[in-house]
Amino acid sequence: MKKPDKDKPWTWIKYRDGLCDGCSSGCCTMPVEIKGEDLVRLGLVTIDELEVSARKVAKRLIKEGFLTSYREGTGNFMLSQRPNDDCYFLDAKTRLCTVYEKRPGVCRKFPEIGPKPGYCPAFRK
């Protein structure tokens, strides 16, 4: 069986309990669009900072390397990825999330939401 391709959802595996155990974190190599509340949960900003100017927050976090962009129309921020497409918060050795308890809402809800709800680009380590 071929390894699922994160960029080709038709190759993904139907999610089932336990699928994440022993996986190489394929979902953590996908672009992650987050909300301001996620930045607050991650401890990167305060609610007050966001209320004053989300644009200034985005500019600072882009400069610090946490974000790549901000879409003012939607209020969404794009999390940075490493050159190999890994999430900024994914540990390269363990393949585990370093902010799991504080992870963004979209990560908490995956694979319920995403390009192919109910499926994931899982593959074994």
pLDDT of amino acid 2: 59
pLDDT of amino acid 6: 78
pLDDT of 123 higher than 60 = yes
Name residues whose C-beta falls within 8 Å of residue 11's C-beta, 6 or more positions apart in sequence: 2, 4, 5, 121
| H-state helical runs in the chain | 36-41, 47-52, 54-63, 105-109
**Model-level pTM greater than 0.95?**
no
Q: Which residue, among 24, 39, 42, has the nearest Cα to 85 in the 3D structure?
A: 24
pLDDT of amino acid 125: 56
Which of 51-55, 107-111, 119-123 is least confident? Answer: 119-123
pLDDT, mean of residues 80-84: 95
